[in-house]
């Protein structure tokens, strides 16, 4: 049955729509932190459909909100007042930290970043964008043009002129050997130098922790230091919080808060977790920036009553159950446990991350060389053991990515770590 579906998938869907596993699985249902496949196998889910099932699978509060709203009205469009959309916008504006915030809802992270690019380029009258090396910001024509990861950027044609900045990857590259403060100083000097050769850059866009890039991050404070330089040039700062938002990093509600001495960014973009699987993306910007467009703009499906109701129920659950605190506590324990396991494996170069966003970088033993074959094999062995994880990383996909729903319990963290320990042993 599953094999047949795989054949049908290959016959009708694009080749570049990659599936995990030699024998891909069909997930038919889920509950809490677990999912089941069509062959009845149960898995502990440490990837949440790419960091998107944020609270839990089949969370009753969210499914009830969806069902009730769908029973009333599914779609009305942005031409009419939409109570759940206004309510969610109010709550996100208040949480964003951005003064005089306005919120525009889209249906994906790509479209959210696309909107941020439209706003920044219109506001600044420039098509020049600063982005980080090893970044990922989406799949549209504009967002692949600011994606500094060749594995996810299928064309170099772009309406934007993009300049790539150092700093998103702490432990590789020309500044890796420097101490944190020196690393930041070197990246700032590089940025200053770059700006000395350009004029009128519109914005810097950056993921506080790079997601697809393998959960890499700069030292805390880098973006605050960048902000000082950007301010001198009038350049906007856009924080792409598609993976790092809503408390996943444990220490902070937004990733930008690790660089908080700068104050909030001019814009932040969000998607993934807020809808717990319903398609919500969006941009928060101060009013002056959001309102700079002098033509109409809509997203037909953005802010649909059903997705907004799901987002409201999901956000309420997240805040009432302090899932950011849970991410910090359980994520901290899990990271410690994974570091202890990694210390026994010559294949692990680094265990890194924050909260429930943890990366394990694999290399060829005794070298610094990426080991995508080992990453693929551990992914496969973990699945065999009943655990779903993800992978990512810069030029070679050699980083295991662990990002479970934020309700993860200590017992589940222990269970998943034990499966990973075995998986690493099998392969190595
Ligand atoms: C940081 C970041 N930005 C943007 C996107 C694009 O979001 P979407 O796939 O919803 O378009 C992603 C998706 O993985 C992401 O990780």
Per this entry, what is the length of the chain? Answer: 428
Q: What is the distance in A from the centroid of ligand 1 to the CA of 375?
A: 22
Determine the atom of ligand 1 nearest the C-alpha atom of 113: 4
Which residues in 358-373 are b (16+ Cβ under 10 Å) and which e? bbbbbbeeeeeebbee
Give dist(CA 222, CA 199) in Å, integer. 22
Q: pLDDT of 118-134, one tens digit each?
A: 999 999 999 999 999 99
Q: Name which residue sits closest to atom 8 of ligand 1, judged by CA.
A: 109
Ligand 1 residue neighbourhood (C-beta within 6 Å): 50, 108-110, 113, 136-138, 207, 211-212, 240, 242-243, 271, 281
pLDDT of residue 261: 80
pLDDT of residue 327: 98
Give dist(CA 293, CA 287) in Å, integer. 11
Give dist(CA 103, CA 353) in Å, integer. 29
Q: What is the distance in A from the centroid of ligand 1 to the CA of 303?
A: 18
Determine the atom of ligand 1 nearest the C-alpha atom of 210: 1
In order of 9, 25, 35, 426, the CA distances from 3 in angstroms are: 10, 9, 19, 25
Determine the atom of ligand 1 nearest the C-alpha atom of 140: 11
Give dist(CA 60, CA 39) in Å, integer. 25
CA atoms within 13 A on the CB side of 90: 7
Short-list 257, 263, 224, CA closest to 324: 257
Give dist(CA 320, CA 312) in Å, integer. 12
Give dist(CA 399, CA 209) in Å, integer. 14
Map residue 287 onto helix, strand or coil.
Answer: helix
Q: What is the distance in A from the centroid of ligand 1 to the CA of 112?
A: 9
Q: What is the distance in A from the centroid of ligand 1 to the CA of 353?
A: 18
pLDDT of residue 78: 94
Give dist(CA 71, CA 64) in Å, integer. 10
Q: What is the distance in A from the centroid of ligand 1 to the CA of 387?
A: 23
pLDDT of residue 427: 83
Give dist(CA 359, CA 336) in Å, integer. 12
Task: Tell me which residues of the chain have a pLDDT lower than 50.
Answer: none
Burial class of residue 148 in the structure, from the number of CB atoms within 10 Å of its CB (0-12 exposed, 13-18 middle, 19+ buried) = buried
Short-list 338, 393, 398, 336, CA closest to 365: 398
Q: What is the distance in A from the centroid of ligand 1 to the CA of 242?
A: 6
pLDDT of residue 395: 72
In order of 147, 150, 247, 393, the CA distances from 155 in angstroms are: 10, 9, 33, 19
Short-list 320, 310, 284, CA closest to 90: 284
Q: What is the dihedral of CA 194, 196, 200, 205, to 10 degrees?
A: 20
Q: Name which residue sits closest to atom 3 of ligand 1, judged by CA.
A: 137
Please tell me the chain's helix, strand, coil percentages from 3-state DSSP, rounded to the nearest 5: 40, 20, 40
C-alpha radius of gyration, the chain, whole number? 21
Q: Name which residue sits closest to atom 4 of ligand 1, judged by CA.
A: 137
**Structure tokens belonging to residue 351:** 């265990």
Determine the atom of ligand 1 nearest the C-alpha atom of 108: 10
Q: Are strands 203-206 and 236-240 parallel, antiparallel or unpaired?
A: parallel
pLDDT of residue 428: 62
Burial class of residue 329 in the structure, from the number of CB atoms within 10 Å of its CB (0-12 exposed, 13-18 middle, 19+ buried) = middle
Give dist(CA 233, CA 8) in Å, integer. 53
pTM value is 0.98
């Amino acid at each position: 049955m599953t094999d047949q579906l795989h054949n049908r998938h290959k016959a009708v869907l694009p080749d570049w729509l990659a599936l995990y596993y030699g024998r891909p699985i069909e997930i038919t249902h889920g509950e809490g932190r677990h999912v089941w496949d069509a062959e009845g196998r149960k898995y502990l889910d440490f990837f949440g459909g790419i960091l998107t099932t944020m609270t839990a699978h089949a969370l009753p509060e969210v499914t009830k909100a969806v069902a009730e709203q769908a029973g009333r009205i599914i779609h009305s469009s942005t031409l009419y007042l939409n109570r759940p959309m206004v309510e969610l916008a109010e709550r996100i504006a208040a949480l964003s930290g951005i003064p005089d915030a306005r919120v525009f809802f889209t249906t994906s992270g790509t479209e959210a970043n696309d909107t941020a690019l439209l706003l920044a380029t219109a506001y600044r009258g420039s098509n020049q964008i600063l982005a980080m090396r090893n970044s990922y910001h989406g799949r549209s024509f504009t967002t692949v043009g600011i994606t500094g990861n060749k594995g996810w950027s299928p064309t170099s044609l772009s309406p934007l002129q993009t300049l790539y900045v150092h700093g998103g990857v702490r432990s590789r590259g020309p500044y890796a050997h420097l101490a944190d403060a020196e690393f930041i100083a070197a990246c700032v000097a590089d940025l200053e130098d770059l700006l000395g050769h350009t004029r009128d850059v519109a914005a810097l866009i950056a993921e506080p922790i790079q997601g697809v890039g393998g959960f890499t991050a700069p030292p805390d404070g880098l973006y605050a230091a960048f902000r000082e330089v950007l301010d001198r040039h009038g350049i906007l700062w856009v924080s792409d919080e598609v993976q790092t938002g809503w408390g996943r990093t444990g220490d902070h509600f937004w990733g930008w808060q690790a660089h908080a001495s700068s104050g909030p960014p001019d814009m932040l973009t969000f998607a993934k977790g807020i809808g717990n699987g319903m398609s919500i993306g969006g941009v928060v910007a101060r009013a002056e920036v959001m309102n700079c467009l002098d033509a109409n703009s809509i997203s037909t499906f953005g802010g649909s009553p059903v997705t907004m109701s799901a987002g409201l129920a999901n956000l309420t659950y997240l805040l009432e159950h302090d899932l950011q605190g849970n991410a910090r506590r359980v994520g901290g324990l899990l990271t410690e446990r994974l570091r202890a396991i990694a210390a026994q494996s010559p294949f692990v170069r680094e265990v890194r991350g924050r909260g429930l966003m943890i990366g394990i970088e694999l290399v060829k033993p005794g070298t610094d060389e990426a080991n995508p074959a080992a990453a693929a094999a551990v992914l496969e062995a973990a699945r065999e053991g009943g655990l779903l994880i993800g992978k990512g990383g810069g030029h070679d996909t050699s980083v295991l990515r662990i990002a479970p729903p934020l309700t993860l319990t200590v017992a589940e963290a222990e269970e998943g770590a034990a499966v990973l320990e075995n998986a690493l042993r099998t392969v190595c």
